[in-house]
Amino acid sequence: MPKLSELEKKPVIFLMGPTASGKTDLTIALSREFPCHIISVDSALVYRGMNIGSAKPDRKTLAKYPHALIDIRDPAEPYSASDFVDDALAEIKKAHQEEKVPLLVGGTMLYYKALMDGLEDLPPADQAIRAEIDLRAEKEGWPALHAELAKLDPETAARLHPNHNQRIQRALEVYMVTGRPMSEIHAGQQGQKLDETFKVHHLVMMPSDRKVLHERIELRLKNMFEEGFIEEVRALYKRGDLHPGLPSIRAVGYRQVWSYLEGECDLEEARFRALVATRNLAKRQLTWLRSWESAAILYTDNQQGRKLAEAKLVTKALNLLDL
């Protein structure tokens, strides 16, 4: 591989995939072949103290294969797509200065899109308006608010599931604060796109059979509860300064266990809700990924519990990366 300083456009690798698709295993395998600088693209991994439910790599793995943008926020501090873009660009610059390949890995598709296309400044979160929207959602349900959004901003609503509460809430909030649909604001985005500056390689990990992914999700969630997920959320709950309005507590899995701790449902119901929410997250991720342009797909249909066939996937990944 030529030195990065000799390349006309320096490389950046995106390793994307739905939850539980094996991205961490392939990240480590690629890091053995490339001088990689790993950058996490995950809206839950940024928070300290959220380890089990976010499937954060363990300390031993992080010590050997450090990941940037992990454990950089307290759960009480919101972290936005705009924050991610600023931090990721700084890490990409740092990687190239050190003659390393930036390897961005994770499943928060909004972060990838924001990094690729840029984001126009949106208004900051308005907690009063969010509380008002949440109160309406409790009375009317998120599908009703999705229907309202469809009248105000049909383009944004068409991209959202009727129960995708976090995104629906944000779209309604932006409209209430600015009087403009979010789709109109995004249409006016300006700024240089990432692929105008760097040679971006898009790798996508996914199973060809969704049933395999569902099996992995169910197994991983089972392991999380056995490893102490409830106690992890309980520790956050006992702090007293956190609440479901924060992005950290709205993370999939955390908000369902939080509801159990609030007495809104029993433990079995919380487990079921977490499973459904994780499956819905994976479905949304797959929808994003299948429409992603220039993506090279690596299929990972190994049986649950079996070690990822790293050598085969790495060989294919290296062939797809024109470095």
- Residue 190's pLDDT is what? 53
The most confident of the ranges 185-194, 221-230, 307-316 is 221-230
CA angle 11, 13, 16 (to 5 degrees): 165
Of the candidates 132, 103, 123, the one whose C-alpha atom is nearest the C-alpha of residue 41 is: 103
d(CA 267, CA 263): 9
* 194 and 180 within one domain: no
* 205 and 57 within one domain: yes
* 131 and 99 within one domain: no
Angle between helices 229-239 and 210-226 (to 10 degrees): 60
* Tokens matching residue 59: 């300390």
Number of domains within the chain = 2
Of the candidates 54, 79, 58, the one whose C-alpha atom is nearest the C-alpha of residue 67 is: 58
CATH code for position 114: 3.40.50.300
* Tokens matching residue 212: 């395999």
Q: What residues contact 108, with CB distance under 8 A and at least 6 apart? A: 41, 42, 43, 84
CATH code for position 137: 1.10.20.140
* 80 and 141 within one domain: no
- Residue 313's pLDDT is what? 64
- Residue 185's pLDDT is what? 77
pLDDT digits (tens, 9 = 90+) for 46-75: 999 999 999 999 999 999 999 999 999 999
Has residue 193 got a pLDDT over 80?
no
3-class SS of residue 255: helix
* 101 and 27 within one domain: yes
d(CA 190, CA 13): 23
Count of Cβ atoms closer than 10 Å to residue 140 Cβ: 12
Of the candidates 254, 303, 323, 187, the one whose C-alpha atom is nearest the C-alpha of residue 47 is: 254
- Residue 239's pLDDT is what? 95
- Residue 257's pLDDT is what? 98
Amino acid identity, residue 76? A
**Helices assigned H by DSSP within the chain:** 23-33, 59-64, 81-97, 109-117, 127-140, 142-152, 154-158, 165-178, 182-187, 194-197, 210-226, 229-239, 254-261, 267-290, 310-320
* 225 and 81 within one domain: yes
* Tokens matching residue 125: 């979160």
3-class SS of residue 6: helix
* 206 and 86 within one domain: yes
- Residue 5's pLDDT is what? 53
Has residue 6 got a pLDDT over 70?
no
Has residue 35 got a pLDDT over 50?
yes
- Total-model pTM: 0.78
d(CA 277, CA 279): 5
- Residue 191's pLDDT is what? 54
Q: Are strands 36-40 and 101-106 parallel, antiparallel or unpaired?
A: parallel
- Residue 316's pLDDT is what? 66
Q: Which residue has the higher pLDDT, 314 or 233?
A: 233
- Among the three residues 172, 187, 202, which one is the final residue of a domain in this structure? 187
Q: Which residue has the higher pLDDT, 190 or 291?
A: 291
* 287 and 211 within one domain: yes
Compute the average pLDDT of residues 83-98: 94
Q: Which residue has the higher pLDDT, 245 or 99?
A: 99
- Tell me the CA distances in angstroms from 114 to 2, 41, 81, 154, 194, one per residue in order: 29, 11, 7, 21, 10
- Note down the domain range covering 151: 127-187
pLDDT digits (tens, 9 = 90+) for 96-142: 999 999 999 999 998 998 898 876 667 777 888 988 999 999 899 99
Q: Which residue has the higher pLDDT, 164 or 24?
A: 24
- Among the three residues 187, 205, 223, which one is the final residue of a domain in this structure? 187
Has residue 267 got a pLDDT over 90?
yes
- Among the three residues 165, 187, 209, which one is the final residue of a domain in this structure? 187
Name residue 206's beta-bridge partners.
299
* 227 and 107 within one domain: yes
* 244 and 132 within one domain: no
Of the candidates 47, 11, 66, 2, the one whose C-alpha atom is nearest the C-alpha of residue 202 is: 11
* 15 and 148 within one domain: no
**Helices assigned H by DSSP within 179-227:** 182-187, 194-197, 210-226
* Tokens matching residue 148: 């309202």
d(CA 302, CA 213): 10
Count of Cβ atoms closer than 10 Å to residue 9 Cβ: 11
* 311 and 211 within one domain: yes
- Residue 2's pLDDT is what? 53
